[in-house]
Structure 1
């Protein structure tokens, strides 16, 4: 049976020292190629903390079939072979089908952040978004004031901002704090 829910590919690359610039160039090459594949919904790069070499790339696809078309493609395989000499542990990939995994650690031995920290960061992005978006859509769409359609548009905008913009930024900015007990 076909998997019709959005899926996420998490790629973990551990680089050899002093290879970040070459890796960034490679990302600039592979990301646009991935974006051309059917079902591509977006991508984020989580760069390592200062003094570390662990990179995480998060790519979303609309279906599991489209994700596998990308991961099994000759194009991706050739690009991964190109960067392989810079990687200490090869091309590690994980497929996530859950809706949200912002706080999933990049490795099994890393603990998930405390729930109260997850709560605070989520609130940090939800609160301003749920207050600013309705104000803006109210100004832009005054004829829809008080309608279910405007409520839907507001919710869709908030979710899109949180998933594709704010949470990737905030989790990267607060990565050190999230790791502390």
Structure 2
């Protein structure tokens, strides 16, 4: 039975600083570990935020429906075997954080990095959700006229908006706007 005070999902936020000459090998490593995680019960998806502008930091977001299912993945032999290959690819230790719900979008890549101001988080989130909720429901209404004004039509619209926000807009925009979110000193 779910605890009503727990988040509906948890996100494992992993940051890896990859050696410049090992980025291709790291990408191949990701191609091995991501399907392994997907085989575990409760797996909800993986997002990889790749480095930009010549940087070397990857942020991997792995979502599970519960802390127990996340724990089962992190303690699995399959993951431990693949994690044992990591030290030769990284230029420093990995950083791991577990976040409830959707709090991961604005998680700094290191413990000492500042978080974006709350008003910036609000504006970016609103800037993604508002246009999506204006565009998606009429689009589904045009494609599936029977969905207009129905509960299942509302669910379809909401599910599409959430998918766009989680897998498309927020990963792109937090990367593109990172200097606005957290200006460099």
TM-score by length of 2: 0.86
Q: From the superposition, tell whether residues 2 and 115 of structure 1 become closer, same or farther in structure 2 (CA, over 3 Å).
A: closer
Q: From the superposition, tell whether residues 41 and 87 of structure 1 become closer, same or farther in structure 2 (CA, over 3 Å).
A: same
How large is the RMSD of aligned CA atoms in angstroms? 2.1
Q: From the superposition, tell whether residues 155 and 170 of structure 1 become closer, same or farther in structure 2 (CA, over 3 Å).
A: same
Residue equivalent to 1:17: 20
Answer yes or no: is the 8 Å Cα contact 2:95–2:110 preserved in 1.
Answer: no
What does 1:1-150 align with in structure 2 at a 5 Å threshold? 5-150=8-153
Deviations 1:153-181 (A, max 9, x none): 32232122212221112112222332217
Residue equivalent to 1:159: 162
Cα distance in structure 2, aligned partners of 1:155 and 1:47: 27
TM-score by length of 1: 0.88
Cα distance in structure 1, aligned partners of 2:41 and 2:151: 32
Answer yes or no: is the 8 Å Cα contact 1:2–1:65 preserved in 2.
Answer: no
Tell me how far 1:2 sits from its aligned partner. Answer: 6.9
